[in-house]
Amino acid sequence: MVTSGLRKPWGLTELPDGRFVVTEREEGTLVIVTREGEISAPLIGVPAVYNGGQGGLLDVAIDPNFASNRWIYFSYSENRGNNQNGTSVARGRLSADEKSLENVTVIFRQMPAWNSTLHFGSRLVFDRNGLLYVTLGERSNPEPRQQSQDRNSLLGKVVRINPDGTVPSSNPFVGVANTKPEIWSYGHRNVQSAALHPVTGELWTVEHGPRGGDEINRPEAGKNYGWPVITYGIDYSGQPIGAGITAQQGMEQPVYYWDPVIGPSGTTFYEGDMFPWQNNLLIGSLNPGGVVRIMLNGNRVVGEERLLSELKRVRDVEVTSDGAFWVVNDENQLVRVSRGD
């Protein structure tokens, strides 16, 4: 363990010099942490967050050209007035003295806002063309849940935007009537976990499903991932979801699902030489906790291993260039996991 001095960390990303940027969810603060565990003062300039329920300052990512432009992106739940809130994404430039974010601008707002404390998403992943995926929840309640199937709503979607928040002309629904052009894929429940495959460059997501229905998906442009029409598992109330069906024409099956569930948090593909796990998926687990390693053959899951349950509720996983991997958890820890060094 490198430090236990964080305050409910949620998102973790590595800077080019090997330090980390970490979000502290409830506090709504963004800090820089060295590999020795020294934690900076909170960066000045982060907007106020709504921190009820599952809300707060959520994921963080750095620009693919961070070394020259110093943009840091972060997702958070934002007060929208009238007791409503929603997931937003902002970016700011890390100042030369590293004490603040400058030119902070909100680049995306999930609409509609809702009166709910649940299911905000929201991981941030850049693709190889420098476009930004944002994974979003459906706010959990029975009414907004239905909007996962509504392409004129941004609830229960994966969206793809340019770094300045504009819509890429290559998005699948650009120019389609009654459809939000930010949408990449739809029919999702609460996606808090996403990474880019190191070989194919494709987006993979891990979704909080209902009881017995957490899923791995490989969301493709314009496709429908089924929620809440098709799903594995049942509602946490004990009731079936909708008609209780798991397949329907025009809706995609997950790559994999868990019953019992793992409560997926952040994920990353393993790249490196320290562990013999090339291109395996490492997924943080909230319950039962620890890290879940998923072995793949191409796009197919061929095995699973549970690691590090002693780390309890893991919030994010990051692999560094030396092949070690790092996690943050609800114990307020940053932990480096290595072998042979």
Active site residues: 119
- Output the smallest distance, CB 213 to Ca ion, in A: 8
Q: Which stretch binds Ca ion (CB under 5 A): 178-186, 224-232, 240-248, 307-315?
A: 224-232
Q: Which stretch binds Ca ion (CB under 5 A): 155-163, 218-226, 283-291, 307-315?
A: 218-226
- Show the binding pattern over residues 104-123: x = contacts Ca ion (CB under 5 A), - = does not: --------------------
Q: Which is nearer to Ca ion, 248 or 278 (CB)?
A: 248
Q: How many residues make contact with Ca ion (CB under 5 A)?
A: 2
Candidate residues 225, 232, 269, 277; the one interacting with Ca ion per rule CB under 5 A:
225
239: CB partners within 8 A, 6+ apart:
none
Q: Which is nearer to Ca ion, 31 or 191 (CB)?
A: 191
Distance, CA of 236 to CA of 240 (rounded, Å): 9
Distance, CA of 163 to CA of 63 (rounded, Å): 8
Say how many C-beta atoms besides its own lie within 10 A of residue 273's C-beta: 9
Q: Which stretch binds Ca ion (CB under 5 A): 52-60, 63-71, 156-164, 226-234?
A: 226-234
**What b/e string do you get for 111-146 counting C-beta neighbours within 10 Å, with b at 16 or more?**
eebbebbbbbbbbbbbbeeebbbbbbbbbbeeebbb
Candidate residues 226, 266, 284, 290; the one interacting with Ca ion per rule CB under 5 A:
226
Give the type of residue at 108.
F
- Output the smallest distance, CB 226 to Ca ion, in A: 4
Q: Which stretch binds Ca ion (CB under 5 A): 41-49, 107-115, 225-233, 240-248?
A: 225-233
Q: Which is nearer to Ca ion, 230 or 314 (CB)?
A: 230
Give the type of residue at 149.
Q
- Output the smallest distance, CB 206 to Ca ion, in A: 11
- Output the smallest distance, CB 210 to Ca ion, in A: 10
Farthest CA pair distance, the chain = 57
234: CB partners within 8 A, 6+ apart:
210, 211, 212, 213, 240, 241, 244
- Output the smallest distance, CB 138 to Ca ion, in A: 12
Distance, CA of 10 to CA of 2 (rounded, Å): 16
Two structure tokens written together for 37 = 């565990």
Residues lying near Ca ion in the complex (CB under 5 A): 225-226
